[in-house]
Amino acid sequence: MVQSTARPLWGLLGSVLLVAAPLAALRSTWFGVLLVVPRLAMAVAAGLAWPWTAYAALMAVAVCSSWRRPRLAWLVAAVALAQPVIAIWSRGKMMTPGGSVEFGMFGQTTGVLLFATLFYAVATVLVMLLPVLLRREAARDRDLRDLLRGRREVQREATVLDERSRLARDLHDVVAHHVSLIAVRAETAPYTFPDLSPDVRAAFAEIADESRLALRELRGVLGVLRRTSDAAPRTPQPTATDIEQLVLDARSTNATVTASLRDLEGVSPAAGYVAYRVVQEALTNSRRHAPDAAVDVTAHGDGGGGISVRVANSLPQTDAAWEHGQGITGMTERVAAAGGRLEVMSHDGLFVAEAHIPESGSPEPDREVGGRA
């Protein structure tokens, strides 16, 4: 026997609003239970054998709350499952969209009752497993992001340490050259000035001995810093005057490079070497990211042994975002180790790298860094 079971729209809306109330009480488990239980009693008392509205709404509450309160979510799901089970077995009829099908409690319809109960149980478990799977997937994505973030941090730290070691190895020749000059001049001073007193001769001899000791210690430090795979350098370290050769080499690849080089002869070897590497990295950066862009190189000595360099190139239209890569990190560490200041920026469609390296290596104001490798 089939009966009409049309329900007013306001009844549906009222049920949804009522059972959605536990969402506001997720911080209090008992308050949520107090709001759910009366709705269960109302459904049973109203004779709803298949209460779609109550069951669906409660399952929505369970799914939503499972992200923060999994235990409460399963409790709400159990309450949702109890509604149709109790209604079916107590009333002996099953509601369908087209009406209600009535059947007895036992006998030939018992199988139908069991099937309906099993259907609701399976549906409830499957629905509750969905947020579990989504939560695991979200946790896996979060762990992957953390892993990638940690990997980038390790790479950045490795780049910093490698650049510092490389800089120490490169500057060794510069320092060793000056220390060796001190030793030679101290040893030859008594012959250059034969009228020196014995005390002065002894002082020069002590200076020569200390200089040779410093050279031995420098070689020892270099041996620690140099990796076994590094080959011993066979060419002199570049200086500020070699920046012109960088420009010529860039032009030989058909790149458009303009240069303004001034007062580079008075730049100290250490500052000149760092400036050379900054220009070299900036030109490499330009070839990698904007191979067709014109590049402007400016390198001016400050008259006191320091140097200021600026390399600018236009950015391609597709290069809207930058990434702080290893090239910029290495350039930053190299300049900072020499006591200089580096700024890498985007300005009016240009990628600009500016650096000032003093002669003495004394620290300068904080630098700003941003850009791509």
pLDDT digits (tens, 9 = 90+) for 263-319: 998 898 888 888 998 998 888 888 877 778 889 999 999 888 899 999 998 876 554
For residues 240 and 321, give the distance between their C-alpha atoms in angstroms, rounded to a whole number: 32
| DSSP 8-state symbol, 303 | S
Average pLDDT for 159-165: 70
**pLDDT of res. 24:** 44
107 pLDDT above the threshold of 70: no
Which residues touch 225 (CB under 8 Å, ≥6 apart)?
Answer: 165, 168, 169
Pick 59 or 102 by higher pLDDT.
Answer: 59
For residues 340 and 167, give the distance between their C-alpha atoms in angstroms, rounded to a whole number: 14
Average pLDDT for 8-23: 47
Which residues touch 65 (CB under 8 Å, ≥6 apart)?
Answer: 22, 23, 26, 32, 72, 73, 76
Name residue, tokens 């939560």: 135
Q: Between the CA of residue 36 and those of 78, 126, 212, 311, 363, what are the distances in Å?
A: 11, 21, 87, 69, 67
Buried residues in 342-361 as b, exposed as e (16+ CB within 10 A):
bbbeeeeeebbbbbbbbbeb
Pick 287 or 2 by higher pLDDT.
Answer: 287
For the chain, helix, strand, coil in percent to 5 are 60, 15, 25
Average pLDDT for 320-344: 72
**pLDDT of res. 162:** 73
**pLDDT of res. 307:** 93
Which residues touch 272 (CB under 8 Å, ≥6 apart)?
Answer: 238, 239, 240, 241, 242, 264, 307
The model's pTM is 0.46
For residues 179 and 125, give the distance between their C-alpha atoms in angstroms, rounded to a whole number: 79
46 pLDDT above the threshold of 70: no
Taking only the tens place, the pLDDT of each residue in 237-268 is: 788 899 999 999 888 877 889 999 999 988 98
- Token pair of 238, please? 């570049």
The share of the chain scoring above pLDDT 70, in percent, equals 61
For residues 150 and 4, give the distance between their C-alpha atoms in angstroms, rounded to a whole number: 63
| DSSP 8-state symbol, 233 | P
User: Is the sign of the CA dihedral 22, 25, 28, 30 positive or negative?
Assistant: negative
Which residues touch 87 (CB under 8 Å, ≥6 apart)?
Answer: 43, 44, 47, 48, 49, 50, 51
For residues 364 and 355, give the distance between their C-alpha atoms in angstroms, rounded to a whole number: 11
For residues 171 and 361, give the distance between their C-alpha atoms in angstroms, rounded to a whole number: 12
**pLDDT of res. 65:** 73
Pick 310 or 219 by higher pLDDT.
Answer: 310
Averaged pLDDT of the chain: 72
Name residue, tokens 């420098």: 218
- Token pair of 88, please? 């079916």
Q: Sheet containing 93-96: which strands, arranged edge to edge? A: 2-3, 99-102, 93-96
Beta bridge partners of 354: 310, 343
Taking only the tens place, the pLDDT of each residue in 115-149 is: 777 888 888 888 888 877 877 888 888 889 988 88
Among the ranges given (5-14, 19-28, 161-170, 206-215), the one the predictor scored with the smallest mean pLDDT: 5-14
Pick 96 or 140 by higher pLDDT.
Answer: 140
